[in-house]
Structure 1
Amino acid sequence: MTESLVLTGAGGFLGWHVRVLARALGFPEPTIVDRATLASPALLADALNGADRVIHIAGINRGEPHKVTAGNVQLAQQLMAGLRACPTPPKTVVFANSIQAGNGTAYGDGKATAAVQLAETTRWLGSTFADVLLPNLFGEHGQPHYNSVIATFCRLLADGGTPQISGDRELDLLHATDAAALLLGTTDAQPTVRRTVQQLADQLERFAATYRTAEIPDLADRFDVRLFNTYRSHLAPAPYGLTRHSDARGSLVETVKVHGGGGQTFCSSTVPGITRGQHFHLAKVERFVVVRGEAEIRLRRVLHDEVLTFRVSGEEPVVVDMPTMWAHDITNVGDSELTTLFWSNDLFDPANPDTYPEPVR
């Protein structure tokens, strides 16, 4: 991909998902517009000038009603001021709007007004305007009590609590990576799923109960996989000990137990000093278990700096599951050959491997 990107709201939940997907698909590193740049028409014009695609995500979701309405309109007006100051306006301006636009709420009214004003400004400038109406979003690393009820439930369950529901209702749901694809223009499909709040709570409770035992819950479809990965993102990555069953014949360790599905299991051998991996996945659930030798497993959340390191051994096998959108690798740090068992929830498809190069360090 060679399309130049400019992104507002890059530090938020959806902004992070857009940046991760853009990285996976090979887009150039986007130009990030912070609030200070948004407030300066001259600085903003420099950032926007001649861009192929501008994605406006920055917004206000919570607060006093009049501030929510006015804040979303103001952010759009700041963007418009920068657009008007551009010698060469961007080719496309994309607005991360909401299905709540125009529904009479402070947030919906602010979004609707912003969309109308952005459409008029881009029409006058000759830029293409894409008004993307997004439903309720969920996904990895959402902020509890802010981004979605799913993030709140996941955090409660990760902390050992139980979701509490006050008034059940249906929600139209879209994973943040799918929303990112819409904003980047790589798809026009919106795989929205409808669930009640109670259904979400029940399913997440089943996921949590099964996964506490290091077993993989039933992941019947695409939505289940993404919901499970969302739950896993609220758990700190860590090894999970396995029980070794031994007798006179030798020993046995149960490494993967999957409810309602199979996936793919394979083994690798690695000579001393060699590193495997150095990539991340957007959706694949992947498990590492060293069964012979000594290894170091490293993980780093994409677009973050902190690296987690786990020293593991075949003498005391443990499960280490790779979080989605975290770069990871495994290095043989021993003196002999390393044997590692890998499991993933789906069969490897060379045409769509869901594997994106990314060094851990």
Structure 2
Amino acid sequence: MKLLITGANGFVGKNLIIHLGEIDDIEVISFTRENKIDELPHLLNKVDAVIHLAGVNRPKDDYEFQVGNADLTVALCEAVKQQARAIPIVFSSSIQADRNNAYGCSKKAAEDALLSLSEKTGNPVYIFRLANVFGKWCKPNYNSMVATFCHNIIRDIPIQVHDETAEVQLVYVDDVVRMMLECVQDAVNAIRTNKMPPASGFVQAGPVYTKTVGHIAQQLNFFKESRNTLISERVGTGFTRKLYSTYVSYLPTDKFTYSVPKYGDERGVFVEMLKTPDAGQFSYFTAHSGITRGGHYHHTKTEKFLVIKGKACFGFRHMVTDEFYELFTDGENPEIVETVPGWSHDITNVGDDEMVVMLWANEIFDRENPDTYASPVAQPRELKK
């Protein structure tokens, strides 16, 4: 498939180009600020579809809205007419197209030109009225609140919040790109197989999130603070996942890493890596040869141990029946060992080298209520190497 991308160097364009590079048999023709409008007829030669992202949103003069949004789109429509064949067009409009301001009016004029083209010629046209798009590579201190907040908060630059309760609508750049590509592929495939392409009109660009400015600022500050508390926000799904990915994308290279506390004694070291609000915490510890760690039980807390280096003997003793059980594991054969409430447990390094063990607990350690009670396993046993 051969695609013409206008505005290829912009925020959405950069993300789109990268995604297109991951698809086989895609040829991209770029139209940028370096190109002239009269080049469009030539660039459209043998193009299968157009994704029209080019536009003006921060001009020095309002007249530039008309030139960069409406006039460019009209010229694109005329160039498509000259091809005398169906060329699906995906257009990135704005939710401001229904507002009576210079930017909104120019976007509405561009929409009207495309819809007129579709009505008169049957050329497929798909309009995305985008809310505030956020994601990696958006320019801060330009026209994106999220980009500016991310950039400033990471760098300890104050942010300005005029109204914490003000609501904004947001869409994530990867969702926008995915929907645009699906739209183009469906239309092109239909044309190639002599079928009717999807009907022209307005298309939803993935989930739209409505959030307050205060909520976004607070969430970004939580992300920053998590490096100190080690408590991660719920970044696995939905809006928070996408906002966190965006936040991290603004890290300068000297902030790609951060230190965590290390607690050491004659037995080895203990390091906490990550804590979660409702799914426990992750850590690791080491033990020198012959060292035993643990020797306690829990009422409710549970843990998972994974020896990733060395050889270990786990000992267990039931707190009521005094039943004893032991098992051996090592880093060469990954095996999760569960601690069971009501059983005292310990772990001994039975190898010659240092042992390294990864540990997950189902709750964040609470010094005021640790649910950890000393009780050595205290069973005579021969530790096997």
TM-score bracket relative to the smaller structure: 0.5 to 0.7
Partner of 1:18: 16
Partner of 2:234: 218
- SS of match in other structure, 1:256: strand
1:200 partner letter = I
Q: Given the alignment of the two structures, is residue 250 of structure 1 paired with residue 268 of structure 2, yes or no?
A: yes
Q: How does 1:275-314 map to 2 (within 5 A)?
A: none
Q: Given the alignment of the two structures, is residue 98 of structure 1 paired with residue 94 of structure 2, yes or no?
A: yes
**How far did 1:264 drift?**
10
CA distance in 2, matches of 1:261, 1:21: 33
User: Which moved further from structure 2: 72-81 or 54-63?
Assistant: 72-81
CA distance in 2, matches of 1:198, 1:154: 14
Contact 1:138–1:174 (8 Å) recurs in 2 = yes
Could you list the runs of 5+ residues in structure 1 that have no partner in the other structure? 266-290, 293-338, 344-361
1:10 partner letter = A
**How far did 1:258 drift?**
3.4
Contact 1:217–1:260 (8 Å) recurs in 2 = no
- SS of match in other structure, 1:240: coil
Partner of 2:341: none
Partner of 2:130: 134
Partner of 2:373: none
CA distance in 2, matches of 1:127, 1:264: 56
Deviations along 1:150-177, one digit per CA (max 9) or x if unpaired, are: 1111111011123221134211111011
Partner of 1:321: none
- SS of match in other structure, 1:166: coil
Q: Given the alignment of the two structures, is residue 178 of structure 1 paired with residue 196 of structure 2, yes or no?
A: no
CA distance in 1, matches of 2:109, 2:93: 11
1:72 partner letter = N
Partner of 2:312: none
Partner of 1:30: 28
CA distance in 2, matches of 1:19, 1:61: 21
Contact 1:170–1:195 (8 Å) recurs in 2 = yes
CA distance in 2, matches of 1:190, 1:109: 24
User: Which moved further from structure 2: 251-260 or 140-149?
Assistant: 251-260
Q: Given the alignment of the two structures, is residue 77 of structure 1 paired with residue 74 of structure 2, yes or no?
A: yes
- SS of match in other structure, 2:140: coil
Aligned-pair identity in percent equals: 29
**How far did 1:37 drift?**
3.3
CA distance in 2, matches of 1:176, 1:160: 25
Contact 1:182–1:189 (8 Å) recurs in 2 = yes
Q: Given the alignment of the two structures, is residue 239 of structure 1 paired with residue 257 of structure 2, yes or no?
A: yes
User: Which moved further from structure 2: 104-113 or 9-18?
Assistant: 9-18
Partner of 2:5: 7
1:55 to 51, 55, 69: 51
In structure 2, relative to structure 1, the CA distance for the partners of 1:148 and 1:247 (3 Å cut) is: same
1:114 partner letter = A
Partner of 2:208: 192
CA distance in 1, matches of 2:273, 2:282: 13
Q: CA RMSD in A?
A: 3.1
1:113 to 109, 115, 119: 109
- SS of match in other structure, 1:254: strand
1:192 partner letter = V
2:217 partner letter = A
Q: In the comparison of the two structures, how many residue pairs are matched?
A: 267
Contact 2:272–2:282 (8 Å) recurs in 1 = no
**How far did 1:30 drift?**
2.0
CA distance in 2, matches of 1:114, 1:153: 31
Q: Given the alignment of the two structures, is residue 86 of structure 1 paired with residue 102 of structure 2, yes or no?
A: no
Deviations along 1:49-94, one digit per CA (max 9) or x if unpaired, are: 332220100000012323223431122123223323325452x111
Partner of 2:246: 230
CA distance in 2, matches of 1:157, 1:26: 39
Contact 1:9–1:34 (8 Å) recurs in 2 = yes
1:209 partner letter = E
Q: Given the alignment of the two structures, is residue 153 of structure 1 paired with residue 149 of structure 2, yes or no?
A: yes
**How far did 1:214 drift?**
5.8
Deviations along 1:249-288, one digit per CA (max 9) or x if unpaired, are: 22233333334447999xxxxxxxxxxxxxxxxxxxxxxx
